[in-house]
């Protein structure tokens, strides 16, 4: 039962290359029917929201997903191109039974996927994923008959709804009028809304990565490719740069010197900001990838710190469990639980800008105090990530690396949740040493991959 889920669902929903199972028209139709039956109970009075990012395949998958939903007897509201955070907020505020966001996030345009949300605006539980995995494919010969009463309508209300919410959390930015900011939307979902909201705050906004054509999403731009943003900040003498990923749930920032701040840096800035405003915090949740330097800095602030599995859903689960407010991933998923039910790059950006406004300090000054351990991350392309991780020789190599690092560092070897990669992360006080240790582990993985190919 659990294995069926694992074969289908990854860290963040279902994802893969368009045209290959499970990212096909037929699967989208089957998924739509299963979602309609499980989340909306096949009732035309129940509504499932559907959104997508800017990929060329998005509208194709959307049409087949909707066919399956309507065949199940469920009504649909189409939100069009929308960021994942705005979509999650819409699911919650429009009283929908759930929603499907068609996106492959930071992946290239050839990929696509399905992110599933419950009526609370949070990612569906693993239990729901198991039920969906069991239900998909049970209904044969999907059809819409004359007795169907389900409806499909386009909804544009989400944009004003989401803007109003963001602007309500941007009032503290007053005083930063005419501040020059470079915004990189990765040619993705945020290309209109994010720039519009930031301009409404009085900021002087310059844009890159805001011309989507269906094929250029995340291509040499965005949160996973911040070098262009960094250069643009320096060239324009801007005060800050903001880089989103293709569906807007990730964020990196660039300070006035062109230095890139990842999710760990942003969490440190926000933890200090929350404390300065006496906002409820309790502690910070990171993941197994979070830099040890952030953990120690958070503890030094008198806060708790815990690690969750990689994936913003698991961070949110841990925050809910502890009753804490702030959490996120090094990759740039940042959750401000007091104002959002999922990672939201734009809301996190607004909170950082609010910190700059209230403290009258630059972004580089706000980041001071966080001393990060040297860290190396190597992604190794493999044919079968599960088989590689099960190899005894790799487990032995990892144990030897742990012994070598001792208390002065740590190693994490895991499969990517979205790609056919093994990620090797090492952290320690001596960069030269961890590079050497990482090289040995990577070589072992490459040898295993060659043998099983």
The pLDDT of residue 2 is 47
Contacts with 191 (C-beta within 8 Å, 6 or more apart), sequence order: 54, 185, 207, 209, 210, 211, 212
- Identify the segments of the chain with pLDDT beneath 70: 1-6, 42, 139-145, 147
Pairing between strand 180-184 and 204-208?
parallel
Q: For the domain 169-367, what is the CATH code? A: 3.40.120.10
Output the pTM of the full model. Answer: 0.89
Of 127, 117, 59, residue with least CA distance to 89:
117
DSSP 333: B
The superfamily (CATH) of domain 375-452 is Alpha-D-phosphohexomutase, C-terminal domain (3.30.310.50)
The pLDDT of residue 143 is 66
Domain with CATH 3.40.120.10 in the chain: 2-158, 169-367
CA 197, CA 192: separation in Å to the nearest integer? 9
Is the four-CA dihedral 169, 172, 178, 179 of positive or negative sign? Answer: negative
Q: Which CATH architecture has domain 2-158?
A: 3-Layer(aba) Sandwich (3.40)
pLDDT digits (tens, 9 = 90+) for 132-150: 998 887 766 666 667 678 8
Q: What string of DSSP letters covers 293-317?
A: HHHHHHHHTT-EEEEE-SSHHHHHH
CA 99, CA 316: separation in Å to the nearest integer? 18
pLDDT digits (tens, 9 = 90+) for 42-80: 677 889 999 999 999 999 999 999 999 999 889 999 999
Is the four-CA dihedral 310, 313, 319, 321 of positive or negative sign? Answer: negative
Domain with CATH 3.30.310.50 in the chain: 375-452
Of 338, 271, 293, 343, residue with least CA distance to 314:
343
The pLDDT of residue 145 is 67
Pairing between strand 421-428 and 111-118?
unpaired
428 within 8 A of 405, measured Cβ to Cβ:
yes
The pLDDT of residue 204 is 96
pLDDT digits (tens, 9 = 90+) for 348-374: 999 999 999 999 999 999 999 998 999
- Exposure string (b/e) for 203-230, b if CB count within 10 Å is 16 or more? bbbbbbbbebeeebbbeebbbbbbebbb
DSSP 228: H
109 within 8 A of 81, measured Cβ to Cβ:
no
Q: H/E element holding 71? A: helix 58-71
Active site residues: 105
325 within 8 A of 282, measured Cβ to Cβ:
yes
């Amino acid at each position: 039962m659990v294995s069926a889920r694992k074969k289908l669902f990854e860290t963040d929903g279902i994802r893969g290359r368009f045209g290959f199972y499970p990212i096909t028209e037929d699967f989208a139709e089957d998924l739509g029917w299963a979602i309609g039956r499980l989340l909306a109970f096949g009732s035309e009075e129940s509504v499932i929201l559907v959104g997508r990012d800017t990929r060329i395949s998005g509208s194709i998958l959307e049409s087949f997903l909707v066919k399956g939903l309507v065949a199940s007897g469920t009504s649909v509201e189409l939100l069009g191109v929308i960021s994942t955070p705005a979509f999650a907020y819409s699911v919650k505020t429009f009283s929908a039974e759930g929603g499907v966001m068609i996106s492959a996030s930071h992946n290239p345009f050839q990929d696509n996927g399905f992110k599933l949300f419950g009526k609370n605006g949070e990612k569906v539980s693993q239990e729901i994923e198991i039920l969906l995995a069991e239900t998909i494919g049970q209904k044969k010969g999907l059809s819409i008959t004359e007795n169907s009463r389900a409806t499909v309508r386009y909804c544009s209300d989400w944009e004003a709804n989401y803007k109003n919410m963001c602007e309500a959390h941007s009032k503290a930015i007053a005083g930063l009028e005419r501040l020059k900011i470079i915004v990189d939307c990765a040619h993705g979902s945020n290309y209109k809304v994010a720039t519009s909201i930031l301009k409404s705050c009085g900021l002087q906004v310059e844009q890159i990565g805001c011309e989507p054509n269906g094929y250029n999403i995340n291509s040499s731009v965005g949160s996973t490719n911040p070098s262009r943003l960094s250069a643009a900040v320096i060239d324009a003498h801007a005060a800050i740069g903001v880089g989103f990923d293709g569906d807007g749930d990730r964020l990196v920032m660039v300070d006035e010197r062109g230095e890139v701040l990842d999710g760990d840096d942003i969490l440190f800035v926000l933890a200090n900001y929350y404390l300065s405003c006496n906002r409820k915090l309790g502690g910070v949740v990171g993941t197994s990838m979070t830099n040890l330097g952030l953990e120690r800095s958070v503890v030094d602030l008198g806060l708790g710190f815990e690690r969750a599995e990689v994936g913003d859903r698991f961070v949110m689960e841990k925050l809910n469990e502890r009753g804490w407010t702030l959490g996120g991933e090094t990759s740039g998923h940042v959750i401000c639980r007091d104002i959002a039910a999922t990672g939201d790059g734009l809301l996190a950006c607004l909170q950082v800008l609010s910190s700059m406004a209230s403290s009258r300090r630059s972004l580089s000054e706000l980041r001071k105090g966080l001393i990060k351990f040297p860290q190396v991350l190597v992604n190794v392309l493999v044919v079968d990530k599960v088989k590689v991780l099960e190899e005894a020789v790799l487990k032995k190599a990892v144990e030897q690396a742990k012994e070598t690092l001792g208390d002065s560092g740590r190693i994490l070897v895991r499969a990517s949740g979205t790609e056919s990669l093994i990620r090797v992360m090492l952290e320690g006080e001596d960069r030269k040493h961890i590079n050497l240790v990482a090289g040995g582990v990577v070589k072992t993985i490459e040898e295993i991959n060659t043998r099983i190919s």
